[in-house]
Amino acid sequence: MQRVRRFAWIPLASALLALPATAHADDLFSSTLHRYGLVVALAAAFGVGLMTAATPCVYPMIAITVSVFGARKETRGRAMWLSTAFVLGLAALFVPLGLFAGLTGTVAGRVAGSPIVQLLEAVLMIGMAVNMFGLFEISLPSSWQDRLSAAGGLGARGAFIIGLATGPIAAPCATAGLVGILDYVFRERDVAGGGLALFAYSLGLGLPFWLVGSLSLGLPKPGRWMDRVKSVFGVVLVVLGLFYLRHVVPALAAPPAFFPAKTWAFVALLVGGLALGAVHLSLKDGTPVQRGRKLAGVVIAAFGGLWLATYEPPPPTIAWIAPTADLGALARTEHRPVLVDFGATWCAACEELLRHTFSDAEVRREAERFVMVRVDATEPTPAIDALQTRYEVRGLPTVLLFDVSGREVRRVSEFVPAPQMLGYLRAVR
């Protein structure tokens, strides 16, 4: 099997760059958080980390890594301390990714909104998927691995360093889980929630190491089940690749006209692709027919998963107008209140406002007495930058409401459901 040693940093870099350039909020972590609350969402992040530990990128390293930092040669209490230091080292790598994603806000979003970056992300995700399917392997250079082995005798500090360095080893299998969490953190700018989610992910990833190191537990023998877990992550990465690519190739965003745009049809594609061989067959072993089935199954399952997660029929829209330099003067000139929506295609909460709030029938009826202005900041121009500076718009989404005198009476800087927006509109005169 070909080994690519010099580029072990690429998966982590791609996960960090994959702060989504687009719109939809229905990733696993976000949907779980919105439907079931923070505790269940953190449990989901923990579970994804634990699944990552069961992949061939990580699983064979558990016993070896524990031996390197020496936990199995110590007393029970000392072994627990060394194992805990190792897990904290893992967290020290992943948690800052969430903090960075939450703090970069609009700047990273503008970069991610570029078609070139979206195409790069699609290529990276699909390339990482090929790695998951076993056609090549990314690992640390041998010199780095030797240095990590030498750090094993440094006690808790050495265990921490090894945990910190294990992240790049896990990264080829970690990208699919990381992107979903980083997506949420970037869109919501939730630094605390993102840090907690990535800490929970790190705990899940580190749990098998901790159990083996602290309690001297044995592990099930490696086998084909690990390749199947890895293939699951590979399919997820292909879905992510298509997610980015659909903004470069818009035809991918929706099923073709002859295909029913229904949930049951998307589920049928997903299940059919899995049954055909997306997970249980291999691209590196088997007959040409089996490899063909694997490839076809991955493509079919990926499109089913993509459309199941992202497709929505186009919502009814409001007749938006372009902005003017003085929004307050617009209200006075028109003798009507003004609503100004600052948004961008890379801002998921902005797109949710369009799809779920401004498309609501009652909101649209109430909006008829407003001058409805849309400021598309996807690709900023000097005029848009000046408008954002003038009205102190520091992040997206931002919705400004002006009364008929031209005075700003309310500012909304997050997604709000239709009933809440309706109340805001009715209060403006």
What tokens does 146 get? 């030797």
CA 161 to CA 224: how far, in whole Å?
A: 31
| pLDDT at 420 (0 to 100) | 93
Alpha-carbon distances, residue 231 vs 17, 265, 281 (angstroms): 23, 23, 9
pTM for this model (two decimals): 0.54
Per-position DSSP letters for 356-409, written without gaps between them: IITTSHHHHHHHTTSEEEEEE-SS--HHHHHHHHHTT--SSSEEEEE-TTS-EE
Length of the chain: 429
One pLDDT digit (tens) per residue for the chain, 429 residues: 444 444 444 444 444 444 433 333 335 566 566 666 778 888 888 888 888 777 666 766 676 566 655 555 556 677 788 888 888 888 888 888 667 755 655 445 555 556 676 777 778 778 777 877 876 555 545 555 555 555 445 567 777 877 777 766 666 566 666 766 776 666 666 777 778 888 998 898 888 888 887 776 555 666 677 778 778 878 887 887 888 788 778 788 788 888 888 889 999 999 999 999 888 888 877 788 998 999 999 999 999 988 887 777 776 778 899 999 899 899 999 999 999 999 887 776 787 888 889 988 899 999 999 999 999 988 778 889 899 999 998 888 899 999 999 999 999 988 888 999 999 999 998
- Identify whether the C-beta of residue 386 lies closer than 8 Å to the C-beta of residue 373: no
Identify the structural domains of the chain with CATH numbers, from first to last. 3-223 (no CATH), 327-426 (3.40.30.10)
Pairing verdict, β 137-138 and 3-4: parallel
Sheet architecture: strand order including 398-402: 371-376, 338-343, 398-402, 408-412
- Identify whether the C-beta of residue 355 lies closer than 8 Å to the C-beta of residue 341: no
| pLDDT at 240 (0 to 100) | 78
CA 191 to CA 124: how far, in whole Å?
A: 26
CA 277 to CA 274: how far, in whole Å?
A: 5
In sequence order, the 6+-apart residues with CB closer than 8 A to the CB of 301 are 235, 269, 270, 272, 273, 274, 276, 278
Alpha-carbon distances, residue 204 vs 52, 197, 255, 260, 277 (angstroms): 8, 11, 36, 39, 28
Q: Which of 326, 319, 309, 306 is nearest to 387 (CA)?
A: 326
The strand pairing partners of 339, in sequence order, are: 372, 401
By CB atoms closer than 10 A (0-12, 13-18, 19+), residue 77 is exposed
Q: Phi and psi (nearest 5°) for 393?
A: -85, 105
| pLDDT at 338 (0 to 100) | 95
Q: Which residue has the tokens 């879905």?
A: 239
Q: Phi and psi (nearest 5°) for 216?
A: 55, 40
Q: Which residue has the tokens 């023998």?
A: 221
| pLDDT at 375 (0 to 100) | 93
In sequence order, the 6+-apart residues with CB closer than 8 A to the CB of 390 are 325
Three-state DSSP class for 138? strand
For residue 270, give the amino acid letter. Answer: L
In sequence order, the 6+-apart residues with CB closer than 8 A to the CB of 374 are 320, 321, 322, 323, 340, 341, 343
- Identify whether the C-beta of residue 363 lies closer than 8 Å to the C-beta of residue 421: yes
| pLDDT at 31 (0 to 100) | 58
